[in-house]
Each structure stands twice: as structure tokens, then as C-alpha cells.
């Protein structure tokens, strides 16, 4: 079994997935949320109790929202641009027949563990609407 090592606590991938799906969330306004955290208006961390032990993991709120934020605003990698999820969806639709692009963008199906994070659906909708506004106008 693959293991991740953090501060001498072994965390298997299933546990990592559980933490991600239950603690991470997608902020609708990342910069605003970071500001609220740093100003003390939002808790700076949460505690996750490791199942079957008496140990806890402290998870910083910035990590809980920063991890999924990379789906929308990934960093540049080796001098090439990497599209965020919303731009990748838009670019994929542009490669299809013009007659079905709008329908494709209006009927995006989200599936899988990451899509179950709180706020994910709303953020994808918001970002796709912003990038594709000209295609999605009635």
C-alpha cells in the first residue's frame, strides 16, 4: 500500500482521500476567503481525528481551500501555461461542432471524489459562465 509521510504520521491514500473529500472545500472567492482567514474572521485550522488512534492532524484552512483552488488556477509549469478546469472545459467545447458547443457547456457532468467537495459545482458553474459568457448567452 502506498503511504504518504507527514510529521512522522503515516497516512494511506484512502485516509488522504477521506480528508480531502470531507475537509477541503472550494471557495467561491479565494482571495476574499484568504483575507478573512488572515484577519481572523474564519478559523485558521481544523482538527482531524485519525481513526483507530488517539492522534489528531491539524489541517490549516488555507490548505483546505488552496488544494482545490489549483484546479481553477494552476501554477505555470516549466514555462508552459496549464489551463484551469474551466478553461479546459471551454477549450474542449471549442474543438466540437459549433452547433453543439452551447449544449455541451450547459450540460457538464461532474463525477468523482473531488467533485463532491463543498462548493465545487457552484465554482465550476461560476468559472465556466465567466469564460464562456459569449457562447452561453440565450
What the chain holds in terms of domains, given with CATH numbers, is 1-69 (3.90.640.10), 71-138 (3.30.420.40)
Backbone dihedral angles phi then psi of residue 113, each to the nearest 5 degrees:
-60, -45
Distance CA 95, CA 111 (A): 22
Distance CA 35, CA 33 (A): 5
Does the pTM surpass 0.85? The reply is no
Model pLDDT for residues 109-132, shown as the tens digit of each residue: 999 888 989 999 999 999 999 988
Model pLDDT for residues 53-68, shown as the tens digit of each residue: 788 888 899 988 988 9
Provide the terminal-to-terminal Cα distance of the chain, rounded to the nearest Å.
51
Are 47 and 58 contacting, i.e. CB atoms less than 8 angstroms apart?
Answer: yes
Distance CA 59, CA 15 (A): 14
Beta bridge partners of 11: 4
Amino acid at each position: 500500500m502506498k503511504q504518504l509521510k507527514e510529521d512522522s504520521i503515516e497516512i494511506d491514500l484512502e485516509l488522504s482521500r477521506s480528508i480531502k473529500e470531507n475537509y477541503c472545500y472550494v471557495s467561491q472567492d479565494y482571495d476574499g476567503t484568504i483575507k478573512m482567514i488572515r484577519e481572523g474572521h474564519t478559523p485558521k485550522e481544523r482538527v482531524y481525528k485519525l481513526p483507530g488512534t488517539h492522534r489528531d492532524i491539524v489541517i490549516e484552512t488555507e490548505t483546505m481551500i488552496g488544494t482545490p483552488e489549483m484546479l481553477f488556477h494552476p501554477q505555470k509549469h516549466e514555462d508552459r501555461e496549464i489551463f484551469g478546469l474551466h478553461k479546459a472545459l471551454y477549450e474542449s467545447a471549442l474543438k466540437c461542432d459549433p452547433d453543439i458547443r452551447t449544449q455541451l457547456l450547459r450540460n457538464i457532468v461532474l463525477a468523482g471524489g473531488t467533485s463532491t467537495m463543498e462548493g465545487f459545482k457552484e465554482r465550476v458553474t461560476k468559472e465556466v459562465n465567466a469564460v464562456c459568457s459569449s457562447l452561453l448567452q440565450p
